[in-house]
């Protein structure tokens, strides 16, 4: 008998969302591995990216830009501070807040991180030609834009 059902795949696995999750996980894994070489954990580079773009952000603003909840930022900043990449200073305008500044070491990571993201990108998209890459980028950007009027 032909085992007709044996290669069947669950309906959820045939969704675009599922493929998205898998590809994202792979990409995250790539970035994570490379990031470990410069002493970062995946996700922490996002904080740095915001600060490279605009140093001295308030904690809450950072959470908002990252699209993440405040407690997440609290913990990440504590670790980044312990690693000496970031500095938290009181906000002179509001005693409840603080401002986050890069240290020299934090600033020094920008180029390595940019390069490593490029390498991860290349690794992830290795199976696509230039036109396909453009199209994938366009579609993801469009989806992102369509995901409500959310920031970041």
In the complex, which residues of this chain contact its own copies (CB under 8 A)?
Answer: 8-13, 15-28, 31, 45, 49, 52-53, 67, 113-114, 117-118, 120-121, 124-128, 132-133, 135-137, 139-147, 150, 152
Number of C-beta neighbours around residue 143 at 10 A? 11
Q: Which does 75 bind (CB under 5 to 8 A by kind): its own copies, DNA, none?
A: DNA
101 and 50 Cβ atoms separated by less than 8 Å: no
Say whether residue 71 binds DNA (CB under 7 A). yes
Q: At closest approach, how far in Å is the CB of 35 from its own copies? A: 12
Residue 47 is encoded by which pair of tokens? 């904080």
Distance (Å, whole) CA 60 – CA 117: 26
Residue among 18, 27, 42, 87 that touches DNA (CB under 7 A): 42
Under the criterion CB under 7 A, does residue 66 sit at the interface with DNA? yes
90 touches which of DNA, its own copies, none (CB within 5 to 8 A by kind)?
none
- Count, residues near DNA per rule CB under 7 A: 30
Distance CA 135, CA 141 (A): 10
Interface pick for DNA out of 27, 58, 123, 133 (rule CB under 7 A): 58
Neighbours of 75 (CB within 10 A): 10
Q: Where are the beta strands (DSSP E) in 9-138?
A: 57-58, 86-91, 94-102
């Amino acid at each position: 008998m032909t085992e007709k059902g044996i290669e069947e795949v669950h309906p959820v696995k045939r969704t675009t969302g599922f493929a998205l999750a898998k590809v994202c996980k792979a990409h995250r894994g790539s970035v994570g591995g490379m990031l470990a070489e410069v002493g970062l954990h995946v996700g922490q580079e996002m904080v740095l990216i915001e600060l490279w773009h605009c140093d001295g952000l308030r904690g809450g603003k950072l959470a908002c830009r990252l699209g993440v909840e405040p407690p997440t930022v609290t913990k990440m900043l504590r670790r980044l501070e312990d690693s000496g990449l970031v500095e938290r200073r009181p906000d002179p305008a509001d005693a409840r807040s603080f401002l986050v500044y890069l240290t020299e070491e934090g600033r020094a990571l920008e180029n390595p991180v940019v390069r490593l993201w490029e390498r991860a990108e290349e690794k992830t998209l290795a199976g696509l030609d230039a036109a396909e890459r453009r199209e994938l980028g366009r579609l993801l950007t469009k989806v992102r834009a369509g995901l409500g009027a959310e920031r970041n």
